[in-house]
A and B are shown apart, each in its own frame.
Chain A
């Protein structure tokens, strides 16, 4: 009598394609996935505990370390949340610089996402191309605030430094070069036969389950829903810019498959270039320090404030008891919630597809575990 047995296989916490220290417990029927259970907590960094002990400005460096590929966006979200609590209005120039930084950071984050996704599937060259260009963004950041990865640049009510001399020209140079490389990388990877075979029609996420799982960001848009907080609930000055919101169209398979999720990030990079260019054109002169509060002590109250991060909707829920420290800061991390759909997407696929699907969701473990 032949009989088959289910097998349990552990993937991670040390695995080159789990994008960090994630452990997946795979239940297999031969090579077919029956169930996927993610095990978290290998990078738990007790963000909320820290927030109980720190004052509002002291929290900013910890906010950087949530999604360490998109520190500027995290800072911007946090600064906006506290500013709403304090009812501060920041100067025009600060708003523009923030948008420029956030969009450059979005490009950098998507570069890592696209580059490492290529590696996951077996294409190494795009990674090298993209990291070469990412280095230029990091240099721009470094000139501005002295740090390459974790900046502590966007403060509540302002910025730590003004832009350095020549920043505008250098950024323009970079954007002009990058406009070409993004097309080059796209042509290298997106239409490659092997790449399409590996990603098209794999891990299809339809709109209903995306909404039910609370998926946000590129993953939701790849499923066909035009939902972008920059447009639907504008914060800062995003309503002044002209940009498109790409959605998944299922060019090589069904709408919402891995290829769509990957390709959406490529398109978003192009849109971010447009936003940065417009912001550079409109960048006003002026000072940046006038709105910096002497002491940050919001009145009693609570609020939820959200921004569009490269990974999705990043929300901060802050409870203030009228002290120098917040009573509670709760983060709604996009990666954590996007990861929850992994089990459903993987069911019925081959074991090699788990890597393709996980890479296309683009998680960062710092944000998943916090």
Chain B
């Protein structure tokens, strides 16, 4: 609310659409589930650490799925892990979003051809909002993915569409 700070001399009313207000609140505090799978998780850690500072965008790691708004699937999703990821996703409270980080979770990545173990795309078990390509994606790419997600949330609407 930096824009409006100290701008009024009395109590005041701001008129806004419900959509805008809620979306603004949602996109500015996307709490992330701290959940790393493989090599990409190291880049995710680097993104939250000092140099790239994920906190700027309101992304704070939470250890429990119950408190998280987004889950970043960062790494190779094996068949054994796929069912667990689905479970974790179902434990999260709505509204929830998913960023798929890295080729592995996008499509199977370097293990696509010979891997008997890999789930060829995490979107086969859970719905993905943003795909970030790369092996591993640079932290900048992950930040871009987050900004894209924020853009997506900004354009969401609560209004029921009449058919």
Contacts and interface: CB of A to CB of B under 8 A. Distances in A.
Interface of A: 13-16, 20-21, 41-46, 49-50, 53-54, 61-62, 65, 68-69, 112, 127-129, 131-132, 134-135, 138, 148-150, 365-366
Contacts of A13: 81, 84
Nearest to A49: B114
B30 interface: no
A127 B61 CA distance: 15
7 contacts: A14-B65, A14-B84, A20-B38, A44-B78, A65-B38, A65-B39, A366-B38
Contacts of A49: 114-116
Contacts of A44: 78, 80, 117
Contact of B43 (A15, A16, A148): A148
B133 interface: no
A50 B115 contact: yes
A16 B114 contact: no
A65 B110 contact: yes
Contacts of B84: 13-14, 42
B1 to A, nearest CB: 28
Q: Output the residue of A41, A43, A50, A129 with the most chain B CB within 10 A.
A: A43
Interface string B31-72: 001111111011101100111000000000101010000000
Contacts of B145: none
A128 B114 contact: no
Contact of B39 (A16, A54, A366): A366
Contacts of B96: none
B121 interface: no
Interface residues of B, number: 36
A365 B135 CA distance: 17
Contact of B50 (A15, A41, A132): A132
Given A20-B37, A128-B50, A68 B115 contact: no
Contacts of B136: 148-150
Contact of B34 (A16, A112, A138): A16
Contacts of B80: 41-42, 44
A68 B76 CA distance: 13
A1 B33 CA distance: 44
A307 to B, nearest CB: 20
A134 B78 CA distance: 29
B117 A365 contact: no
A45 B34 contact: no
B110 A61 contact: yes
A44 B51 CA distance: 31
A111 to B, nearest CB: 11
Nearest to A71: B39
B100 to A, nearest CB: 16
A14 B75 CA distance: 13
A69 B42 contact: yes
A150 B37 contact: no
A45 B114 contact: no
Given A14-B84, A21-B81, A43-B37, A135 B114 contact: no
